[in-house]
Amino acid sequence: METRRLEYFVTLIREGTFRRAAAALYISQPALSQQIQRLEQEIGAVLINRSVTPFELTPAGRRLLARSQKILDELHEIEQITSRARRGVIGKLRVGVAPSLMYSAMPGLVREFRVAFPDIELTLHRETTQTILDLVEKRRLDLGMTFSQAAWTGLQWVKLYDDSFVVALPAGHPLASRASVRVADLQDETFLMLMRQGVPDLHDAIIAACASAGFSPRSVESNFQVAGPGYADQIGLVAAGYGIAVIPSAVATVMLPGVVYRPLVEPVITLPTSLCWSADSRNPAITTFVDYCSAALASEDASG
């Protein structure tokens, strides 16, 4: 049975005459009459008593009318769900987030997105940049949000904004009294650096900045006792006097006694906060999230 004929039948009953129903359906009266006859043949029962004017529904017709409306309503609901899924306003998103971005604009963006699109189930996965890129490439995550350059083939990238980096110093450090710190001023310092495999772009940016200032950083590679697995751990170890750390400015909102933050200059170190996803992905909710974040941040820049 074609649902189109059920629509014709329901429209005929609603309009009350073949003439008005045919006009509402943009077909001729003979064509409508033919479709109703075919429906009766499929059902195996007369649905309309045509011997009276206006026509009347038979008992079979009344029962079919009640069922037809329910079927058409359910089909309409299914079509709406399918349409919304195609438009990316319903579905699931697995988003990998670099730990430091938990201190940035990202949590607020996610909260606002979830309010705006309540039918998209969004889960956050805290991972290192390298792990995020691996999982996105394997499509075990739908999206990655990282401090990272658009360097991976097979991934699509959108830059959201550039974030600057600051130096975390012990409060009693001689450089702590300055308004800003040149990279060259850090030549004799011990850098608490995360391992390159976790944050390759930042690691390389620090090395490049030091090289441009004429030295190679003396560093202690990341481990729990010395450099810590994350920026928050580095800040604690700076307070403990193990060295200095270059961290995203967003993380500098973590206030710890014994630590001060100063802007880095000459050169300024910046990295883009970017969204990435697999070029082979067919999840429409990705586009919805990317467009939302881009528009929200652009609006903030315009208002700022």
Write the pLDDT tens digit of every residue in 237-290: 899 888 999 988 888 888 889 999 999 999 988 888 889 999 888 888 999 999
In sequence order, what are the residues at sequence separation of 6 or more whose Cβ sits closer than 8 angstroms to the Cβ of residue 220? 190, 191, 192, 193, 226, 227, 242, 243
Instruction: Output the CATH code of domain 3-86.
Output: 1.10.10.10
Token digits of residue 278: 């697999």
> Tens digit of pLDDT for each residue in 125-184?
988 888 898 999 999 999 999 877 666 667 889 988 888 889 999 998 999 999 999 999
- CATH 3.40.50.11810, domain 91-290, yes or no: no
pLDDT score at 35: 87
Is the model's pTM score more than 0.75? no
The H or E element spanning position 168 is: strand 155-170
Q: Which residues are CB-contacts of 28 (< 8 A; sequence separation ≥ 6)?
A: 22
DSSP state string for 81-141 = HHHHHHTTSSEEEEEEE-GGGGGSSHHHHHHHHHHH-TTEEEEEEE--HHHHHHHHHTTSS
Q: How far apart are CA 22 and CA 32, in angstroms?
A: 6
pLDDT in tens, 195-209: 777 677 788 888 999
Cα separation, 22 vs 11, in Å, equals: 9
pLDDT at 223 over 50: no
Geometric angle at alpha carbon 191, from 186 and 196, rounded to 5°:
130
Query: Where exactly are the structural domains of the chain?
Result: 3-86, 91-290
Q: Do domains 3-86 and 91-290 have the same CATH topology?
A: no
